[in-house]
DNA sequence: CCCCAGTCCTGCGGGC
DNA sequence: TGCCCGCAGGACTGGG
């Protein structure tokens, strides 16, 4: 499930196309239901072919190709999308193709097993409204601890659920939310409005540490093996997960707690009940 | 404001 | 052995 570290790895994998000219692009004939491509192929090609890639950026969990025409191509991998410069895991799930000239990468593909992702081209105004600040919060690697606190301190939501809200902070998904809260030693069900400044500082520090470490390992490739980098190689961070998909196993921090799995907002959360204590309950009755 | 369930989609693994 | 079903979850939507 590509989140910030996986998408950043994808971005780096095709960063070499900067300066190259798009000589062809378009959907790959696919037996499956086609993924979302907009505008329709003819218009897409007309606007993209002949342009030069000015930059390859990451916008939360999306890869953005900035063209010298001022248009932007946004690749959104959702669950199973990949950007590949080499042999795909399977031919049948190739979805979109780019051919380039003038650089070290002559072509690359968008591959997507489940087909929930998209490849879209935006003109500047449309891009601004689609990805404006009210739709997408600051990037997780840029946001400060103070800003994170200010955005959530009055929310009654559980902290783990709030971290998944891309309007608050972009780039964190289900896997890294669990990892971040474990490193920060915060129980995933603690309410945002009951966290103190020191808790927000811990979450912020853990967010940077986990995401940067995961980027160094080129992301997480889970059991289904879906996620791969642009060279179709698995990531390595799954071997360093503290809690994710480790239910019943011993906690690597305290070496005593067994990792638990709970469901929040219809998604799995993993945590260590010893390292991540729940909200202190107000004392009942009166103390003597 | 926030929550919840439903939607898209495929592959995998448990259960019988 | 084979089939069915539940599950995985990012982003979005509609209703409460």
**Residues of A involved in catalysis:** 2-3, 61, 267
Of A106, A63, A101, the closest CA to residue A83 belongs to A63
Instruction: Identify, with chain letter, the residue nearest to nucleotide B5 (CA–C1').
Output: A266
Strands A107-112, A94-101: pairing kind = antiparallel
Closest CA to A41 of A105, A81, A97, A115: A97
Smallest CA–C1' separation from A170, nucleotide = C10
Rounded to an integer, what distance in angstroms lies between the CA atom of residue A284 and that of residue A261? 29
Burial class (CB within 10 angstroms; exposed 0-12, middle 13-18, buried 19+) of A117:
buried
pTM above 0.75, yes or no: yes
- pLDDT, block means (10 residues), chain A with 288 residues: 92 96 93 87 96 96 96 93 89 92 95 91 92 90 94 92 93 94 94 94 95 94 83 90 91 91 90 88 51
Instruction: Point out the nucleotide closest to A177 (alpha carbon to C1′).
Output: C9
Please give the distance of CA A234 from its chain centroid, rounded to a whole number: 16
Q: How far apart are CA A132 and CA A235, in angstroms?
A: 31
Q: Tens of pLDDT along A148-191?
A: 999 999 999 999 999 999 999 999 999 999 999 999 999 999 99
d(C-alpha A199, C-alpha A214), whole Å: 22
Residue A288: what pLDDT?
34
Instruction: Provide the 8-state DSSP code for A53.
Output: E
Q: How far is CA A248 from CA A74, A236, A270, in A?
A: 39, 22, 10
Q: For chain A, what is the total number of helices (H) and then of strands (E)? A: 7, 11
Say if residue A97 is exposed, middle or buried (CB neighbours under 10 Å; 0-12, 13-18, 19+): middle
Backbone dihedral angles phi then psi of residue A56, each to the nearest 5 degrees = -120, 115
Q: How far apart are the first and last CA of chain A?
A: 53
Q: Nearest-CA residue to the C1' of B3? A: A265
Does strand B come within 7 Å of the CB of A155? yes
Q: Integer distance in angstroms from CA A119 to C1' B7?
A: 20
List of domains in chain A = 4-131 (3.20.190.10), 145-240 (1.10.8.50)
- The whole-number Å distance from A277's CA to B9's C1' is 37
């Amino acid at each position: 499930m590509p989140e910030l570290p996986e998408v950043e790895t994808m971005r780096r994998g095709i960063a070499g196309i900067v300066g190259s000219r798009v000589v062809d692009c378009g959907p790959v004939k696919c037996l499956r239901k086609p993924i979302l491509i907009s505008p329709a192929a003819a218009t897409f090609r007309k606007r993209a072919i002949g342009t030069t890639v000015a930059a390859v950026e990451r916008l939360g969990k999306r890869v953005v190709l900035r063209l010298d025409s001022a248009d932007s191509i946004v690749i959104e991998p959702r669950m199973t999308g990949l950007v590949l410069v080499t042999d795909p895991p399977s031919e049948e799930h190739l979805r979109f193709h780019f051919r380039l000239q003038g650089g070290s990468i002559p072509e690359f593909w968008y591959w997507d097993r489940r087909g929930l992702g998209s490849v879209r081209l935006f003109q500047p105004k449309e891009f601004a409204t689609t990805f404006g600040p009210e739709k997408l919060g600051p990037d997780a690697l840029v946001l400060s601890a103070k800003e994170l606190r200010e955005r959530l301190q009055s929310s009654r939501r559980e902290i783990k659920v709030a971290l998944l809200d891309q309007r608050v902070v972009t780039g964190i998904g289900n896997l890294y939310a669990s990892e971040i809260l474990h490193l920060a030693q915060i129980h995933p069900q603690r309410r945002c409005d009951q966290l103190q400044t020191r808790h927000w500082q811990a979450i912020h520090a853990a967010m940077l540490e986990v995401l940067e470490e995961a980027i160094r390992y080129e992301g997480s490739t889970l059991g289904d093996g879906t996620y791969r980098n642009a060279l179709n190689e698995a990531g390595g961070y799954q071997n360093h997960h503290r809690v994710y998909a480790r239910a019943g196993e011993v906690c690597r921090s305290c070496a005593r707690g067994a990792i638990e799995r709970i469901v929040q907002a219809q998604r799995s959360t993993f945590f260590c009940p010893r390292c991540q204590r729940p909200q202190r309950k107000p004392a009942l009755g009166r103390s003597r």
